[in-house]
Amino acid sequence: MTTTEQLRTRVADELDRARARSVALTDAVDDGDLVRQHSKLMSPLVWDLAHIGNQEELWLVRDVGGREPVRHDIDDLYDAFQHPRADRPALPLLSPTEARGYVREVRDKVLDVLDRSPLEGRRLEAGGFAFGMIVQHEQQHDETMLATHQLRRGAPVLHAPPPPPGRALPTAEVLIPAGPFTMGTSIDPWALDNERPAHDVHVDAFVIDAAPVTNAAYQAFVDGGGYDDPRWWSPEGWAYRVKADLTAPRFWLRDGDRWLRRRFGVVEPIPPDEPVVHVCFHEAAAYAAWAGKRLPTEPEWEKAARFDPATGRSRRFPWGDEDPGPEHANLGQRHLSPAPVGAYPAGASPAGVHQLVGDVWEWLDTGFHGYPGFEAFPYREYSEVFFGGDYRMLRGGSFGTDPVAARATFRNWDHPIRRQIFAGFRCARDVSIAERSQGAVTVATREDGD
Which residue numbers belong to the known binding site for Fe cation?
A: 51, 137, 141
For 344, the 3-state DSSP assignment is coil
Contact 106, 61 (CB under 8 A): yes
State the Cα–Cα distance between residues 63 and 75, nearest whole angstrom.
Answer: 14
In sequence order, what are the beta bridge partners of 175?
207
Count the residues in the chain: 450
State the Cα–Cα distance between residues 411 and 3, nearest whole angstrom.
Answer: 28
Q: CA 119, 121, 122, 127 torsion: positive or negative?
A: positive
Which residue type sits at 256? G
Q: What is the DSSP letter of 88?
A: G
Which H helix or E strand runs over 285?
helix 281-290
- The binding site consists of 51, 85-88, 137, 141, 414, 418
User: Which residue, 32, 50, 29, 31, is CA-closest to 138?
Assistant: 50
For 373, the 3-state DSSP assignment is coil
- The binding site for gamma-L-glutamyl-L-cysteine consists of 85-88, 414, 418
User: Which residue, 96, 10, 9, 88, is CA-closest to 53?
Assistant: 96
Which residue type sits at 170? P
Phi, psi dihedral angles at 394 (to 5 degrees): -130, 135
| Helix 4-27, helix 129-151: angle, nearest 10 | 20
Q: How many helices (H) and strands (E) does the chain have?
A: 10, 12
In sequence order, what are the beta bridge partners of 199?
183
For 304, the 3-state DSSP assignment is helix
State the Cα–Cα distance between residues 231 and 78, nearest whole angstrom.
Answer: 44
Contact 276, 218 (CB under 8 A): yes
Which residue type sits at 316? R
* CB crowding 271-297: b at 16 or more within 10 Å, else e: bbbbbbbbbbbbbbbbbbbbbebbbbb
State the Cα–Cα distance between residues 356 and 447, nearest whole angstrom.
Answer: 18
State the Cα–Cα distance between residues 284 and 295, nearest whole angstrom.
Answer: 8
